[in-house]
Amino acid sequence: MLTYDLIIVGAGALGTFHAYHAAKAGLRVLLLEKDRYPIQATVRNFGQVVPSGLAGRWFDYGRRSLEIYQRIQQETDLTVRANGTIYIASDNDEWTLANELYDRYRQIGYPCSLLTKAECLDKYPTLQPGYVVGGLFFPDEMSVEPEQMIHRLIAYVQQKYSVEYRPGSAVIDVQPDGGGATVTLSNRQRFQGGRVLICGGHEVRLLYPEILAKAGLVVSKLQMLLAEPVAGLQLPGNILTGLTIRRYESFQECPSYAAIKTPDSLAELKKWGIHILFKQAIDGSIIVGDSHEYADATQAEDLGYHTQDYINDLMLAEAQRIVSFPITIKKAWAGFYSQTPAEIFEYDVDPTIRIVTGIGGKGMSSGAGYAEESIRQWLGVYV
């Protein structure tokens, strides 16, 4: 039976960044993925690395994640583009929050700038002038290609740090064995690890349904759209809008947030958890979204596998209120991720077996920094 210092179950961003940090510290790491390649939350998102939207320690993890992405990008192409993030305020309430967040980040030295309406329209000429009041810009933030980044990161940790990667390896059992833990695959192959880390999203129920039942995890379903490229269109960086300002955690910590009311015109959008973001891919196509529906993780099937045209139509209507370029949809999909009111679910089944899941929508922005701290604290190694 092959033996490793650390076995990681789940090769999404959270699991793979844990593998990166552990292997970088000199540990022998096995990374297991049940599918032929990752197909869940890591590849079904915008690919935006936006610490500016995070609060508390997650902002710190996000800021550190920018440094980690940049460092790896210097050695291999993860598709990282440091084109920045802008939040477009559409009314005075949103503009007030943007100014308050600007003041906070300036005080802690996180680079940002306020843009006037004219400056926003100059930088993003396809914005509808009637929508824009002003913008808050973060020059150091990044975007990646979500369907490519994880494959390149996995290849990098294999080549650079000798991580052993085994896709198509469905884990059916993890048991402590005295000096560590034994992992059993569906083909009955077994591996021994000094520690085992399970980063399987809400599918933790496959191994530990009794733990999932008590975890308070919620699964969020997001609908997203991919629009055809538009000749000559350039949308640099991450473009987030007024509904995002009304939703993201960092703005919720601003002094005026409690007094902000939702206009009646936005009530239906808020009902479906819609906030409009745009991110242009390298091939010119444009990701537009997204929405949020929720179910207890023990009843995730209730969310359905389909997308609702009604929700897509709401997103498209709001998107066309924001930008003037034509939006021709070529693909729609649903993404799923788990989250918890406790920010993340960390549970030790045994001193040698740990579950980490429920990072919510923070994984791409803060997962690299969080995984670094997680490996340092749990394994006691210098990363």
Whole-number Å distance between alpha carbons of 226 and 224: 7
Determine the 3-state secondary structure of 73 from DSSP.
Answer: helix
Q: For residue 266, what are the CA distances in angstroms to 66, 165, 275?
A: 33, 46, 10
Structure tokens that stand for 378 in this block:
């749990």
8-state DSSP, 207: T
Whole-number Å distance between alpha carbons of 179 and 195: 9
The amino acid at residue 359 is I
- For 126-130, which contacts have Cβ atoms below 8 Å and span 24 or more sequence positions? 126/233, 126/235, 126/323, 126/324, 126/325, 127/88, 127/322, 127/323, 127/324, 128/321, 128/322, 128/323, 128/324
Predicted local distance difference test score (pLDDT) of residue 178? 85
- The residues, any chain, with a CB within 8 Å of residue 270's CB and separated by 6 or more, are 243, 246, 262
Query: Over 80: is that where the pLDDT of 151 sits?
Result: yes
Predicted local distance difference test score (pLDDT) of residue 383? 65
Query: Over 80: is that where the pLDDT of 204 sits?
Result: no
- Check if the beta carbon of residue 144 is closer than 8 Å to that of residue 79: yes
Q: For residue 138, what are the CA distances in angstroms to 17, 79, 84?
A: 24, 19, 5
* DSSP code per residue over 274-320: ---EEEE-TTS-EEEE---EEEEGGGGGGG-SS--HHHHHHHHHHHH
Which position has the token pair 């915008």?
46
- The residues, any chain, with a CB within 8 Å of residue 177's CB and separated by 6 or more, are 192
Question: What is the reported pTM?
Answer: 0.95
Sort residue 216 into left (φ over 0), alpha (ψ -120 to 50) or beta.
left
Determine the 3-state secondary structure of 216 from DSSP.
Answer: coil
Nearest to 138 by CA among 168, 90, 98, 176: 98
Annotated domain spans of the chain: 1-81+143-216+343-383, 85-139+218-339
Radius of gyration of the chain (CA): 21
Domain 85-139+218-339 falls under CATH 3.40.50.1970: no
CATH superfamily name and code, 1-81+143-216+343-383: FAD/NAD(P)-binding domain (3.50.50.60)
Whole-number Å distance between alpha carbons of 219 and 293: 8
Average confidence score pLDDT of the chain: 94
Determine the 3-state secondary structure of 220 from DSSP.
Answer: strand
- The residues, any chain, with a CB within 8 Å of residue 184's CB and separated by 6 or more, are 171, 172, 173, 174, 175, 190
Predicted local distance difference test score (pLDDT) of residue 215? 84
Predicted local distance difference test score (pLDDT) of residue 159? 98
Predicted local distance difference test score (pLDDT) of residue 40? 80
**What are the pLDDT digits (tens) for 244-268?**
999 999 999 999 999 999 999 999 9
CA diameter of the chain:
66
**What are the pLDDT digits (tens) for 93-105?**
999 999 999 999 9
Element (H, E) at 2: strand 2-9
**What are the pLDDT digits (tens) for 208-241?**
888 888 888 899 999 999 999 999 999 999 999 9
